[in-house]
């Protein structure tokens, strides 16, 4: 169980780092020097960060899975706004997250079945 949860936490944390670096590129890149665009970039990053924190805290529970997918969708939308190579990176992470859930799901189900029998 700990290994599966650590895997989920690692994937979400790495994805959050990529989104953070994308926000830095979005702000300091040549495309957006307008203050309103900068506010949108960091507000979007803050919302994605909040979603991922709730998802990581709730891994292994229903809300963690729900917020992790909300975070994935929010990250996809955010990456389209940032532009550049970000949508491709986020698409790779969405696929990686899907396979993480495929690994994490059976482990959590086996744990819950084990606790029901004990």
pTM comes to 0.71
Write down the domain spans for the chain.
Answer: 2-107
pLDDT at position 117, please?
60
> At 1, is the secondary structure helix, strand, or coil?
coil
Q: Is the dihedral of CA 4, 9, 12, 18 positive or negative?
A: negative
Residue pair 10/55 in contact by the 8 Å Cβ criterion: no
Q: Write out the chain's pLDDT in tens, 118 residues.
A: 567 778 888 888 888 888 888 888 777 765 555 666 778 888 888 888 898 888 888 877 777 778 888 888 888 888 888 887 888 888 888 888 888 878 777 776 676 676 656 5
Both ends of the chain: CA-CA distance in Å?
17
């Amino acid at each position: 169980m700990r290994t599966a949860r650590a895997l989920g936490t690692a994937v979400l944390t790495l994805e959050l780092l990529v989104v953070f670096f994308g926000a830095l590129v979005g702000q300091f890149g040549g495309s957006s020097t307008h203050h309103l665009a900068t506010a949108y970039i960091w507000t979007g990053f803050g919302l994605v960060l909040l979603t991922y924190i709730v998802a990581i805290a709730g891994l292994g529970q229903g809300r963690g899975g729900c917020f992790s997918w909300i975070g994935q969708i929010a990250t996809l939308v955010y990456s389209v706004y940032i532009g550049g190579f970000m949508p491709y990176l986020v698409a790779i992470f969405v696929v990686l997250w899907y396979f993480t859930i495929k690994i994490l799901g059976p482990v959590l189900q086996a744990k819950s079945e084990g606790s029901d029998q004990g």
